Structure 1
Amino acid sequence: MHKTSSRIQHKPLNDIEGFDESTHYGVCGYVLVAMASLILILFFPFSLIWSLKVVQEYERAVIFRLGRIKGRRAQGPGLFFLMPCVDTFIKVDLRTFTFNIPPQEILTRDSVTVVVDAVIYARIYDATMATVNIKDARGSTNLLGATTLRTMLGTVGLSEILSDRDRIDRDMQNTLDNATHYWGVKVERVEIKDVRLPIQMQRAMAAEAEAGRMARAKVISAEGEMKAARSIKQAADVLQESPASIQLRYLQTLHSISEEQNHTIVFPLPASLFQNAQTALPRLLGAGMQEQKIVQGTKGTESAEQPLVTVMDTEVNTPF
C-alpha cells in the first residue's frame, strides 16, 4: 500500500483576494476595546499623547489591534489615531532601496567560469503585505536576487553575457518581480555591473579580436586597392582619348611640385620611348656589326695583294 502525499500550497496571509475585512476579536477582545475606550475618555486630553501618531509622506503605518491586522489599507501619510493599550503599529518605508549582489562565481553554459556582480533597485508598494507575508522583505529580496542571478547566467553563454546584457537584465527583473509579488515588493530595475573573466580567457579573447581586426583590415585594404585600380584604369582611358591632356596633367604636376619649394624636378618620360628604343637598339647593333665585318673584309683583300716581305739585292762597294 503506497501513501500518496499531497503538498498543500501556502496561501499568503494578506493576499488581496483572500483577505477578510470582517475581523472578530471575541468577547474578551471587545471587553478590552471597551476598557481602552473608557481610559481614553477618562484621561482626555492627556491620552491623546499616546493615541495620536504621525508618519512621513514616504511612510505607511500598519496597525494591529489585539494582534490582528486592522483594515486592508495601511494608514498614512500624516496623522492617525490609536486606541491605547490595544493597538500597535509598524512603520514601513516606501522609498526605493538598492542593494548590491555580492560577486558570484558562475559557470556559464559553455563551461566558462566568470565572476559577476549586480545591483537591484526595488521598493515596497504594499506595506501590509510586506509586513504580514514576510519577516524581512529587503533581505529576502537580496538573497533571491543572488540566487536568480546564478540561475539566469548559468543558462546562457559567455558571448550573450558580454553582448546581450539588456535582455538578461529584463529577464531577471521579470523573474524577481513575479517572485516578490506576494511580499509587496516591486523590483524596478536590475543591472549587471561587472563581469570578470580569467586572465587566460582575456588573453585568448584579445588574440581572437586582434586576428579578426587584422583580417578585416586586409580585406578593406584589398577592396581599396581594387577601387583605386579601377579609377586609375578609367583615368587612363580618358587620357588616351585626348593626348593633349597628358601634357596638361604633366604641367599641373610640375606646378604642384613648384609650390612646395622643392629644388628637385622630376621629368617623366613616356614608356613608349623606351619601347621604341628597345626595338631600335638591336637593329642598330646588328647594322654596326655588319659594317665592321665589311671593313675587315676589305682590309684583308688589300693585304693579300701586297707581298708580306720584300727582299732587295743590293751591291755594296767598299773602297780600300
Structure 2
Amino acid sequence: MRAKEICVIYMISRKTCASAVLAFRPYISKGNQPAELFCFIALLLPATHRFQSFRYLRSVNTPSPCKTVKLARYSESTTVVVAEPVNEEADSESKTCGKILVFLSWVLVCLTMPFSLFICFKVVQEYERAVIFRLGRLLSGGAKGPGIFFILPCIDTYARVDLRTRTYDIPPQEVLTKDSVTVSVDAVVYYRVHNATISIANVENAHHSTRLLAQTTLRNTMGTRPLHEILSERETISGSMQLSLDEATEAWGIKVERVEIKDVRLPVQLQRAMAAEAEAAREARAKTLNTISAEKNSTIVFPLPIDLITYFLRAKEDSQSNL
C-alpha cells in the first residue's frame, strides 16, 4: 500500500448524482510498514439532497477493494464518513458463519411451529420504530414499523424507539453573565427522535446526552450575553439555543423542536438595587414634569367682583332664550 491513494466516490441521491475524488495519505508506521488506513471525508450536504448511499468503487494502487458504506439518512450539515479497506478473509468467514446460524435459526423456528410464532412476531405502535440487530449488525432495510415485524430467535435482537416529542425541564443553572452578574436561569426543551437507527447506533443514550448538552448550552449561551439582553431578548436567546442544540444533536438522530426560557432569577440584593434605581428614575421624571408645569402656569386676575360677572352672564343667557 503506497503513501498516496485515490478513492472515487459516487454520491447517489434522488435528484442528483455527483462524483468526488479524494486524495489521502495513510498513516505509515515505523519501518515503512503500512498501518491501518482510515479515510475521513467531510461533506457539506445541501438541505435539498437526501443521500441514500455512498459506494466506494475502487482504490487506485490498492489490491483490496474498499468497503461499501450505506446509511439510511445523512445530516443536513457536515457529515463525517469513515472508510477502511475490507479484509476479505475475515469478512468471508463472518458471512459464512452468519449464514449457518441463520439457517439453524430457521430450522428451530420450523421445528417449534406454531409456538415459535409468539416469539418471532413482534408489534410496535404507530409512534414507535424497531431497530433490529442480527448477530450484532444492523439489519438492512432500516427501522421497522409501525405494525408487525418478524425476528429470528437467538440471533436477532431489537430496540424500541419512541418517536413522540419529549419535554425536558432544565434545572436552574447558576450563570455568570457577560457583565459579571450571577443569575439563575431555567428553561424547557422540546425534542424528538427523527432517525431511530442513528439514535441507537451512534450514541449510547440519546435522551440523556441531549439533556446534558441542553444544560451546557444554556450556561454557555447565557454567559456570553449581558443582563439586559437576557431580560429583554428571551425569544432571540431561545432561538439561538434551539439552532445550536439541533445542529449538535443531528448526529444522534435527535430533532430539537423548541427551547423556551422559563424564568430568570436575580439575587435579592440586585433586585433591591434595581427597584431603587427604577423608583429614583420615576421620581426624577415626576419632578421634571412638575418643573415644566410650574413654568407654564399663568394666573388671570379680573378687576370686577365675581357676583357682577355672574349677573351679566345670566342676563346674556336670558336674552338668548327670549330670542
Instruction: Answer yes or no: same fold by TM over 0.5.
Output: yes
The structural deviation recorded for 1:17 is 5.3
Residue 258 of structure 2 corresponds to residue 189 of structure 1: yes
**Gap runs ≥5 in structure 2:** 1-37, 43-50, 55-68, 73-90, 303-308, 316-323
TM-score, with structure 1 as normaliser? 0.64
Q: Partners in 2 of 1:198 and 1:173 — Cα distance?
A: 27
Partner of 1:178: 247
2:140 is paired with a residue whose SS is coil
Return the match for 2:118 from 49, 70, 87.
49
Residue 271 of structure 2 corresponds to residue 202 of structure 1: yes
Partner of 2:107: 38
Higher RCO, 1 vs 2 (CA within 8 Å, ≥6 residues apart): 1
Amino acid at match of 2:70: D
Q: Partners in 1 of 2:209 and 2:249 — Cα distance?
A: 9
Q: Once the two structures are aligned, what percentage of the paired residues are identical? A: 52
Amino acid at match of 1:128: T
Partner of 1:259: none
Partner of 1:108: 177
In the alignment, is the contact (CA less than 8 A) between 1:21 and 1:72 conserved in 2? Answer: no
Relative to structure 1, the CA distance from residue 203 to residue 10 in structure 2 (aligned partners, 3 Å threshold; closer, same or farther) is farther
Return the match for 1:82 from 144, 151, 163.
151
Residue 230 of structure 2 corresponds to residue 165 of structure 1: no
1:68-79 correspondence runs (5 A): 68-79=137-148
The structural deviation recorded for 1:193 is 1.7
Partner of 2:32: none
The structural deviation recorded for 1:115 is 1.5
Q: Partners in 2 of 1:248 and 1:137 — Cα distance?
A: 92
Relative to structure 1, the CA distance from residue 171 to residue 41 in structure 2 (aligned partners, 3 Å threshold; closer, same or farther) is same
Partner of 1:296: none
Q: Partners in 1 of 2:291 and 2:313 — Cα distance?
A: 29
In the alignment, is the contact (CA less than 8 A) between 2:53 and 2:71 conserved in 1? Answer: no
Partner of 2:194: 125
In the alignment, is the contact (CA less than 8 A) between 2:52 and 2:70 conserved in 1? Answer: no
1:85 is paired with a residue whose SS is coil
Q: How much is the aligned-residue C-alpha RMSD, in angstroms?
A: 3.4
Partner of 1:66: 135
Q: Partners in 2 of 1:249 and 1:117 — Cα distance?
A: 74
The structural deviation recorded for 1:220 is 4.7
Partner of 1:215: 284
Relative to structure 1, the CA distance from residue 70 to residue 249 in structure 2 (aligned partners, 3 Å threshold; closer, same or farther) is farther
Relative to structure 1, the CA distance from residue 17 to residue 49 in structure 2 (aligned partners, 3 Å threshold; closer, same or farther) is same
Number of residues paired by the alignment? 234
Relative to structure 1, the CA distance from residue 73 to residue 142 in structure 2 (aligned partners, 3 Å threshold; closer, same or farther) is same
Q: Partners in 2 of 1:248 and 1:43 — Cα distance?
A: 121
Amino acid at match of 1:163: S
Residue 218 of structure 2 corresponds to residue 149 of structure 1: yes
Q: Which has the higher helix share?
A: 1
Q: Partners in 2 of 1:142 and 1:249 — Cα distance?
A: 85
Amino acid at match of 1:20: K
Partner of 1:20: 70
Spell out, residue by residue over 1:212-243, the C-alpha distance to the aligned partner (whole angstroms, 9 max, x if none).
222333445566677886xx99xx9xx9xxxx
The structural deviation recorded for 1:198 is 1.5
Higher alpha-carbon deviation: 19-28 or 71-80: 19-28
In the alignment, is the contact (CA less than 8 A) between 1:60 and 1:93 conserved in 2? Answer: yes
In the alignment, is the contact (CA less than 8 A) between 1:110 and 1:158 conserved in 2? Answer: yes
Q: Which has the higher strand share?
A: 2
Relative to structure 1, the CA distance from residue 147 to residue 63 in structure 2 (aligned partners, 3 Å threshold; closer, same or farther) is same
Spell out, residue by residue over 1:182-226, the C-alpha distance to the aligned partner (whole angstroms, 9 max, x if none).
101111111222212112211110011112222333445566677
Q: Partners in 1 of 2:312 and 2:286 — Cα distance?
A: 33
Rg larger in 1 or in 2?
A: 1
TM-score, with structure 2 as normaliser? 0.64
2:70 is paired with a residue whose SS is coil
